Amino acid sequence: MNLRPIQSELFLSLQPLVLVLLDITPMMTVLEGVVMELQDCALPLLREVIPTDKEEVAFKDLDIAILVGSMPRREGMERKDLLKANVKIFKSQGAALDKYAKKTVKVVVVGNPANTNCLIASKSAPSIPKENFSCLTRLDHNRAKSQIALKLGVTSNDVKNVIIWGNHSSTQYPDVNHAKVNVKGKEVGVYEAIKDDSWLKGDFILTVQQRGAAVIKARKLSSAMSAAKAICDHVRDIWFGTPAGEFVSMGVISDGNSYGVPEDLLYSFPVVIKDKTWKFVEGLPINDFSREKMDLTAKELTEEKETAVEFLSSA
Ligand SMILES: *[C@@H]1O[C@H](CO)[C@@H](O)[C@H](O)[C@H]1NC(C)=O
Ligand SMILES: *[C@@H]1O[C@H](CO)[C@@H](O)[C@H](O)[C@H]1NC(C)=O
C-alpha cells in the first residue's frame, strides 16, 4: 500500500491510496477478480491497483506493508514443519522490504504465527527500524472490548483501554484491570462496572482466547470481516495516532519494556501512538494473576522464537 504524505488528520478523508497486491503466480487470475471487485467498489480514494507476483514490484517504495499471507496449517502437518515454511516466507519478504521499501515503511504482519513471522521479517530487514514492525492483535483487542460492551449493554465505543498481552493464540492474556467503561456519562473501571470477578477471570478470558476457534467452528472458515476491520483499525492508528487518553494492543518488539517481558520477543503490549511512533504504556500495576498469564504467553513465544531462529539460518 502506497500512502502519499498527509498534512493533518483533517484531511483523513482525502488520503488517496495506491494498492499493490502481491500473490504467488498460480493465483494471478484470482487476483484479477479481486482487482475487478476493488474497481467495482467505486472507491473515490483508490487511485490505482497494481496486482503482481514479483517482490521487486510489490515492495518498491512502500509506505505500509500488510503481510497477510502465510502457510496455513494442513491436516497432519507438524507444528515445526509449518513454522519452517513460514520462516522461509517471512525471511524472503523481510529481505525484499529491506531491499525495495522505504526505510520508514510500517510493516504489519497478519499471517500466523503472526508474532514470530513478524520477528523473522524484522530480523531479515536489518536496515528498517525494528520498531516499524508490528503484528496484529487488534482483532483480539476488539473481541475483548466487544465482550465487555455486550455484558454491560453499552456500545463498544464506551469501552477503552483493554489490553491483549503476548501471543496471538489461546495463551494470550486479555486484561481488563486497566480498562474503563462509560456508564451513563461516568467513566468507571470494568471490574467495578461488571461486579462479577469470576466471569472476568474465567469465561471472559476464555471467550476471547478461543474466539477464533469458535468462529471457525460456526462458519467453517476463519474470521474474515472482523480481521479486515481489525487491520484497518491497526493501520489507521499507526498512521494517524491513537485518541487522547486511549491505548491499543499491538504485537511489537519487547526491547526496553518495563513489564518484565524478555527482550527480543514480538509480544503484544498496550501502546500509544503519535507521529507514527508507538510507545509502551508505562507504569500499569500488574497483579499476581496477570503476572502468571503474561509469563505463560511469553514462554510460548520464547520457545517458538528459538526454533524459528534456528530455521532462519538454514532457510
Ligand atoms: C502463537 O500464536 C500463533 C498464532 O495463533 C500460533 O500459530 C502459534 O502456534 C503460537 N505459538 C505457540 C508456540 O503455541
Ligand atoms: C519508524 O522508523 C522511523 C524512522 O525511519 C521513526 O521515525 C519512527 O518513529 C518509527 N516508527 C515507530 C512506529 O516507532
Please report, for the domain that includes residue 184, its CATH number.
Answer: 3.90.110.10
Nearest CA to ligand 2 atom 2: 104
46 and 118 inside one domain: yes
131 and 144 inside one domain: no
84 and 141 inside one domain: no
**Pocket-forming residues, ligand 2, beta carbon under 6 Å:** 103-104, 129, 131-132, 276-278
Model confidence at 2, pLDDT cuts 50, 70, 90, reads very low
Pull the grid cell for residue 24: 504467488
Asked whether 166 lines ligand 1 (CB < 6 A), one says no
Please give the mean pLDDT across all residues of the chain: 93
151 and 274 inside one domain: yes
Is residue 313, in this structure, part of any structural domain at all?
A: no
Mean pLDDT of 264-271: 98
125 and 155 inside one domain: no
Is residue 311, in this structure, part of any structural domain at all?
A: no
Q: Which of 70, 87, 170, 304 to mutate to test the pocket of ligand 1 (most atoms within 8 A of CB)?
A: 304
Q: Is 236 annotated as a binding residue?
A: no
Closest ligand (CA of 77): 1
Is residue 1, in this structure, part of any structural domain at all?
A: no
For position 23, which CATH number holds? 3.40.50.720
Q: What's the 71 CA to ligand 1 centre distance in angstroms?
A: 13
Render pLDDT for 32-81 as a digit per residue (tens, 0 to 9): 999 999 999 998 889 999 999 999 999 999 999 999 988 888 878 888 88
Nearest CA to ligand 2 atom 14: 277
148 and 109 inside one domain: no
Is residue 71, in this structure, part of any structural domain at all?
A: yes
Closest ligand (CA of 278): 2
125 and 171 inside one domain: no
Residue 111 has pLDDT above 50, yes or no: yes
89 and 185 inside one domain: no
Residue that terminates a domain, selected from 77, 105, 135: 135
Q: What is the pTM for the complete model shown?
A: 0.93
97 and 204 inside one domain: no
Is residue 312, in this structure, part of any structural domain at all?
A: no
27 and 94 inside one domain: yes
Q: By residue range, what is the domain housing residue 37?
A: 6-135
Model confidence at 8, pLDDT cuts 50, 70, 90, reads very low
Q: What's the 97 CA to ligand 1 centre distance in angstroms?
A: 24
Is residue 314, in this structure, part of any structural domain at all?
A: no
Nearest CA to ligand 1 atom 5: 169
Nearest CA to ligand 1 atom 6: 113
Q: Is 86 annotated as a binding residue?
A: yes
**Number of domains into which the chain is organized:** 2
Q: Which of 141, 168, 178, 234 is catalytic?
A: 168
Residue that terminates a domain, selected from 85, 100, 135: 135
Q: What's the 170 CA to ligand 1 centre distance in angstroms?
A: 8
HEC secondary structure over the chain: CEECCCCCHHHHHHCCEEEEEECCHHHHHHHHHHHHHHHHCCCCCEEEEEEECCHHHHCCCCCEEEECCCCCCCCCCCHHHHHHHHHHHHHHHHHHHHHHCCCCCEEEECCCCHHHHHHHHHHCCCCCCHHHEEECCHHHHHHHHHHHHHHHCCCHHHEECCEEEECCCCCCEEECCCCEEEECCEEEEHHHHHCCHHHHHCHHHHHHHCHHHHHHHHHCCCCCHHHHHHHHHHHHHHHHCCCCCCCEEEEEECCCCCCCCCCCCEEEEEEEEECCEEEECCCCCCCHHHHHHHHHHHHHHHHHHHHHHHHHHHC
Closest ligand (CA of 277): 2
Q: Is 112 annotated as a binding residue?
A: yes
Render pLDDT for 171-222 as a digit per residue (tens, 0 to 9): 999 999 999 999 988 999 999 999 999 999 999 999 999 999 999 999 999 9
Is residue 91, in this structure, part of any structural domain at all?
A: yes
Mean pLDDT of 152-162: 96
Mean pLDDT of 126-145: 98
Query: Would you call 168 a catalytic residue per the annotation?
Result: yes
126 and 152 inside one domain: no
Asked whether 140 lines ligand 1 (CB < 6 A), one says no
* Index of the ligand 1 atom closest to the CA of residue 300: 13
152 and 295 inside one domain: yes
Residue that terminates a domain, selected from 85, 103, 135: 135
Is residue 100, in this structure, part of any structural domain at all?
A: yes
pLDDT of residue 9: 40
